[in-house]
Structure 1
Amino acid sequence: MNRWFLQHWCDVNARLDNARVSKIHPMAPLMIRGAAPVACRKEHRRFVAEHRDNWDLMAAAGSIEAIDDPVKLNSGETMSCQSLEIFSNPLQSLEGQAVLPSVAKSELPVLLISGWMCVTSASACAAFSALAGKSWRLLIGPWNHGGVQQIRYCRETKFLKFPKAEAVNEFLLHHLSTQKNVAPPAWLASEQPEAHFYVCGAKPAWQHSTSWPPQNVAKKPLWLSKSRELSWTKPVHDESDGGASQLPVATGQAHLVWGGVSRYNAMIKMMDLVKYQWKQSAVDSGKALLFETPALAAPVAMLGSPVLSLRLRGAGDEDADVFAYLCERPPDGGDLVYVTEGILRLSKRKEEDAPDHEKAADPDRSRCGNSAKAAEIDAGFVPHHSYRREDIEMLPAAGGLTTARLKMFAAAYRFRAGSRMALVIAPDDAAHYAANKKAGRQPPVICHSAAESSLLWLPLE
């Protein structure tokens, strides 16, 4: 659980609820007014006082281990995190419909906005993929949560202007204006659904498509291989010949792999620019694993969520965490550039059939050609973990085998010609996430041999 983020997020919301905006940041009142009186001052004070009894999210989160664990609210009601699902959770106020299907059923034009450094990007893509109707637009830029910052992944990155506020204004004016015979902006001219997304990295550019993911995107596998390589071909060696790597022991050390300002920090400290600073010392000291491809012959664009499929051999510990980072090694061999990440507590690896909206946002299986056949396992498609208490499963005993797959945050990034794709695997992220109390000194072994393969699946254009 990201305790650092939850605690600060709760503090910010409490200050907003209680109209104490200046306590967030001295400059905040210039941009946010907080709760403004809607009635007499006495009523306003009463409303603010009621907010002080709001649900203590941090306290509740500390007691939750599974998605169906019950939480008692201040009102005396009991709920679980399952009740917060906006795609399928039926609400009485919506005649038994979930939120997003109800929006789609209304047949109103919809503008979905997110950023590649925001955790809402996957939900925005899934909503568009599964539900988009007439005049829907998906707009995803190089932004963090709330679009407060435009993210520069590396020094070579330059931005093409696409003002968010102007886009929202154009969308509203186009669909709400009563004026006739006014030519719409080019990006709103068609009644077909359209996704407009910013591809970061080499030759950054805005692109658009009538679907998400675009029709030309297919999943391609990279095999973890000996000598810590990422290979486009399946390994032929066995475990005794460099075909296995033990997950490092968790250290509890903050900023072990990355320094600087993370995507999480910037959601709270909005004046601090997102900047990931690679720490090679984590790999050199054996506290993280690094796998790299050969130099790319041409630019390669990735659009969507990478999937890491790990074949694991138990070594004694009951549980462990995996933090996986997809990066780019520049052509000059400099520091790694952060692209995206994924996280999984291995005891929560149990999967179930993915809901329709998640399947819709993943490249169609027919587009993957011979990739799945070459891998001999259907591991490239986005996993959906149940996270239910009954499905928590400890790691196998020493020598036992299991598979754990994790989904990384969606991204749109073009790797430069001459650069290398890189995968970093670490056992913890103490700067943001709580330690796994069941992790010990004997973490599992990651198999990457001919017989037992681990793969990184990338949605490539």
Structure 2
Amino acid sequence: MRRRLTTGGWFLLAAMVVFGFGGGATWAARPEARLDTAWWRADENTPPESGPYHGLTLTSQYLTMRDGVKIAVDVYLPAGLRPADKLPTILDQTRYWRRLDIHWPASLFFGPLDEIRRIVEAGYALVRVDVRGSGASFGQIPYPWNDGEVRDGAQVVDWIVAQPWSDGQVGAAGGSYEGTTAEFLSFNRHPAVKAIAPMFALFDVYTDIAFPGGIQLSWFTREWERGNRIMDRNRPQEAFWFARLLTSGVAPVDGDRYGEERARAVAGHRGNVQIHQETLTLNYRDDVSPGGICTDRFSPHTYSDRLRAAGIPVYNISGWFDGAYPHAAVKRFLTVENPGSRLLLGPWDHGGADQIRPFDKTVRSRFDLIGEVRRFFDFHLKGKQTGIEVEPPVHYYTMVADRWRSADHWPPPARETPLYLAADHRLSFAATKDEAGRDDYHVDPRAGTGSLSRYNALAVETRVAYPDRKHRDRRLLYYQSAPLPGDLEVTGHPLARLFLAADAPDAQVFVYLEDVNETGEVSYVTEGMLRALHRQLSDAPPPYRSPAPYRTFLRRDGRPLQPGETAELVFDLQPVSYLFRQGHAIRVAIAGADADHFRELSSPPTKFTVQRNAAQPSRIVLPVVEP
């Protein structure tokens, strides 16, 4: 449960090498007072609550699974643990090396991460596992979160509860890949697993990471494959030449002094799936790649009935700039309504290290994420009254207002407020009476969102920032409102409804919601996208609950465009809670590409025609929360 939970393995090395082996430092500026400090912290300068123990011990070993595959496991226990002491356990299963092997003398100065120390000293055992086919574990990865890996989780829990230090209760937590392993662990319905906290993690593989809006997020799959390949070969020097001076890669288990077992395990990883190459062959949700990859096969939402049947509380945590994962957290929360489940949405990037601030510098987050997760597990694993048991189940952060808010449900009550595309690039609260209004847009294939976007932090150790978008918007078709007469809070899931024609049989449409201040600076708020091929909405029962319009993304529902013929596209933007200040203007920008992240169509359109008339009133609908 590192504070910064990156997805590409070599990026973990980068974080540790460049940022001091701590995982919590970032490129951010010094934090300001309070900001996103947790609502339950009376004083942000008060040190986190200390636990009953001081110091910790670490041992590691192989566990042999039912099929003979050996899994590398680290066990952290409080120092001074007495034979009579029994502890609950937090299980963290990772694809990205459970621990680095740091060379001497650097090993004299860098011990376990502070997050690990805080968990263990609070009276928990912490077990970290290299999932099969990764790190120092044997086996192969035919696809992420494969059946063998999921079954291993149950067997690891069997081993945990048989240990003399275990009290028989296990919680699972982690971010990104590790958050999904926690979710898949629950599908085993092991009686010892009492609660899980999947943080900054997907729920529907297809829409949350592989194909948001049906458009391939190829930058991520390429970088993720590259990072995994470096880790699978245990060659950190391929990422940074100086890495070999500091580490030999993943740590071997105790007793493997010369790393011979680790070398044999790594040799077996050569057969691991190359996920980017496989996804390049996919378009629809039900497509199957030449290597047998189908996204729903390893998507948690496919098995959500098992999580509901497990009946355990789930803490869903994400940030407004966490790729497409804030919607993932919402979908999981709404779909799996187990007693005690919670939803937390903060002003964060992937991993929650940074707080992103409109019209200002990104700063290091003040939110005590480890403390919040500890409150959750202290109640559900130890029975302690932490206050979380009487709080509303939903907490979210309203940007610009810089306030935490709570609710009994998501989304909170809001007034659906349309803003219509109008003449002269205006955005109007009043419906147009124009009978023939339309705008032509010559698609710029170079348009993009840069290298510091919400998607970059999914795979690299970087801050998220959207510098003044005024320059980027020159490549886009945009519409802007008059200055607002008063503050306007948008909380929930904005909706784009566009009447659009293209000069090709398919198109990729990106919509950005932006804030324009009095000086003309343009700040990013949120975004959504849709491949026109997938525009068909469905009346079929959806596989999960969501405030967004439902479409299947199945091959049978694909609808190519008729070039030059107007089609209606309805799609959601990523959820957000944002305060537009009085005197600011709201801007909606439309693009036909995000060349920095999404794969271009083989025959992309060169022109869009956007209708904005009484018969076909293109608009964005904002969920406005009344003051």
TM-score, shorter chain, exceeding 0.5: yes
Shift of 1:60: 0.5
Question: 1:353 and 2:539 equivalent?
Answer: yes
Return the index of the structure with the highest Cα Rg. Answer: 2
Q: Tell me, in whole angstroms, the C-alpha distance in 2 between the residues paired with 1:102 and 1:432.
A: 34
Q: Secondary structure at the match of 1:387?
A: coil
- Counterpart of 1:213 (choices 396, 408, 411) is 411
Q: Cα gap change, 1:422/1:198 in structure 2, threshold over 3 Å: closer, same or farther? A: same
Q: Tell me, in whole angstroms, the C-alpha distance in 1 between the residues paired with 2:250 and 2:492.
A: 36
Q: Tell me, in whole angstroms, the C-alpha distance in 2 between the residues paired with 1:297 and 1:30.
A: 58
Shift of 1:257: 5.5
- Partner AA of 1:117 in structure 2: F
- 2:46 paired residue number: none
Shift of 1:351: 2.1
Shift of 1:230: 1.5
Structure 2 matches for 1:34-433, cutoff 5 A? 34=250, 36-37=252-253, 40=256, 41-73=259-291, 78-87=292-301, 89=302, 98=303, 100-118=304-322, 119-155=324-360, 161-177=366-382, 182-184=384-386, 186=387, 188-190=388-390, 194-201=393-400, 203-214=401-412, 216-239=413-436, 243-251=437-445, 253=446, 256=447, 258-259=449-450, 261-270=452-461, 272-284=462-474, 287-314=475-502, 316-330=503-517, 332-353=518-539, 356=542, 360-362=545-547, 382-398=548-564, 400-433=565-598
Pairwise CA RMSD: 2.9
TM-score (norm 2): 0.60
Q: Secondary structure at the match of 2:319?
A: strand
Shift of 1:107: 2.4
Q: Cα gap change, 1:450/1:260 in structure 2, threshold over 3 Å: closer, same or farther? A: same
- Provide, for residues 9-49 of structure 1, a one-character-per-residue CA deviation record: whole Å limited to 9, x for no partner: 11122333344456556689999974643774444323222
Q: Tell me, in whole angstroms, the C-alpha distance in 1 between the residues paired with 2:539 and 2:438.
A: 30
Contact 2:542 2:550 in 1 (8 A): no
Q: Tell me, in whole angstroms, the C-alpha distance in 2 between the residues paired with 1:303 and 1:350.
A: 26
- Provide, for residues 97-156 of structure 1, a one-character-per-residue CA deviation record: whole Å limited to 9, x for no partner: x1x332232222221111111121112112212322322121121111122322222228
- 1:93 paired residue number: none
Q: Tell me, in whole angstroms, the C-alpha distance in 1 between the residues paired with 2:237 and 2:329.
A: 32
Q: Tell me, in whole angstroms, the C-alpha distance in 1 between the residues paired with 2:432 and 2:394.
A: 38
- Which of 21-30 and 133-142 deviates more? 21-30
- Counterpart of 2:226 (choices 4, 7, 11) is 11
Query: For structure 1, which runs of at least 5 residues remain unmatched after alignment?
Result: 90-97, 363-381
Q: Tell me, in whole angstroms, the C-alpha distance in 2 between the residues paired with 1:344 and 1:454.
A: 15
Q: Cα gap change, 1:109/1:30 in structure 2, threshold over 3 Å: closer, same or farther? A: farther
Contact 1:325 1:423 in 2 (8 A): yes
Q: Percent identity?
A: 26
- Which of 274-283 and 24-33 deviates more? 24-33
Q: Secondary structure at the match of 2:512?
A: strand
- Partner AA of 2:357 in structure 1: R
- Partner AA of 1:318 in structure 2: P
Q: Secondary structure at the match of 1:147?
A: coil
- Partner AA of 1:245 in structure 2: D
Q: Tell me, in whole angstroms, the C-alpha distance in 2 between the residues paired with 1:312 and 1:304.
A: 25
Shift of 1:260: 5.8
Q: Tell me, in whole angstroms, the C-alpha distance in 2 between the residues paired with 1:347 and 1:153.
A: 34
Shift of 1:209: 1.0
Question: 1:453 and 2:623 equivalent?
Answer: no
Q: Tell me, in whole angstroms, the C-alpha distance in 1 between the residues paired with 2:363 and 2:581.
A: 14
- Partner AA of 1:434 in structure 2: R
- Partner AA of 1:249 in structure 2: V
Shift of 1:289: 0.8
Shift of 1:283: 4.7
Q: Secondary structure at the match of 1:343?
A: strand
TM-score (norm 1): 0.80
- Partner AA of 1:138 in structure 2: L
- Which of 22-31 and 135-144 deviates more? 22-31
Count of equivalent residues: 406
Q: Secondary structure at the match of 2:351?
A: helix
Report 1 or 2 for greater relative contact order, CA contacts < 8 Å, sequence distance ≥ 6. 1
